[in-house]
Amino acid sequence: MTSAYLYAAARTPFGRFGGALAESRPDDLAATALRGLLKKAPALDPAAIGDVVWGCANQAGEDNRNVGRMAVLLAGLPVSVPANTVNRLCGSSLDAAIIGSRTIESGDADVVVAGGVESMTRAPWVLPKPSRAFPAGNVTAVSTTLGWRLVNDNMPKEWTISLGECNELLGDKFGISRERQDEFAARSHNLADEAWNAGFYDDLVVPVAGADLDRDEGIRPGSSAEKLARLKPSFRPEGTITAGNASPLNDGASAILLGSEAAADRIGSAPIARVAGRGVAAVDPVMFGYAPVEAADKALARAGVTWADVTAVELNEAFAVQSLACVDAWDIDPAIVNAKGGAIAVGHPLGASGGRILGTLAARLKESGGRYGVAAICIGVGQALAVVLENVA
């Protein structure tokens, strides 16, 4: 079986909810990331792309009806290039990359593009459709931006609590203090700012036409645990989770170019990293933030390496508390985790985040020369995904 390699990565800057990308449709954001990615492979004939696998968590508004295919058409690719859209909530674009890597390994295609998009700003309100026409009473519009909606009455109530309350429970279980969470969040902002200032993201991020945004909008330079300590808890009166130590709502898109080793000639460049292992895990829905622990351990086992071999980790920071719980469980050096900032600062547009962490991981391995890295992401309703990359740059 052939191996799958990562050749290039691109993403838009991530905008804040209602911010600089609020006027950009999600299908346009997806097309922007796709065009930006292909500019990195000018020798590649787009008609040679065997498939496009795209992630999106919402799919209730302008991202409906297979937004991956819409991105292909809007980006001006040949109509012969197929595309699919997958939904594993926050893990959608990492799942897309996993699917793309399997496609290459199986020999079904030599070149695959994976990616994802989310506009949490433009996620619509929805109305449940009545079973009979013209109901006499009032109906309630439900926001599709984040979390449960139109919940099945048969679903256990303890599983449908808010994502924030789930993570308050996780913090209780592992005794993770507010102080540790705020310190972790401040670190994320400052590392992201340093990485942007040092030019790390210059080759990864492509501009969005018509938007005045040249870097991730949510980064707060000079953040400190002391400043974050002033924020009020968001989910419990005496809780530990605030708007400062959790990821914000965001808009953005990411894309990854995958290929076989033999595809290097048609792509016109050497690969950066090999997909060495993959892992998926599921847990009690309330414990979703802890699910990356098992997913990453599985991916490492399938790669035939251990945590001692890992020099870089990109863990999506849905909440500081769940990130700390995972890092503690892995018993790894926190310094190797999200060394260029994480989702608390950079942002977490759900369907795009998996592609972001995978592209960032490959760039970190290339920069440092380290051999193995792990990208992992938690997923609402109790799931997680992880990918191990081997540096071949």
Return the active site residues. Answer: 90, 348, 378
Q: Is residue 168 within 8 Å of 235, Cβ to Cβ?
A: yes
Tokens at 3, concatenated: 């191996």
d(CA 278, CA 103): 14
d(CA 6, CA 270): 9
Tokens at 338, concatenated: 């999200």
Q: Which of 340, 325, 348 is nearest to 373 (CA)?
A: 340
* Cα 24 to Cα 50, 75, 252, 307, 321, distances in angstroms: 28, 14, 9, 40, 32
CA dihedral 326, 161, 253, 70 (to 10 degrees): 140
Q: Is residue 114 within 8 Å of 82, Cβ to Cβ?
A: no
Q: Which of 108, 94, 7, 5 is nearest to 53 (CA)?
A: 94
Tokens at 36, concatenated: 């930006």
Hunting for tokens 């991105």 — which residue is that? 71
d(CA 161, CA 15): 27
DSSP letter, residue 357: H
Helices (H) and strands (E) in the chain, counts: 11, 12
Hunting for tokens 């109790």 — which residue is that? 382
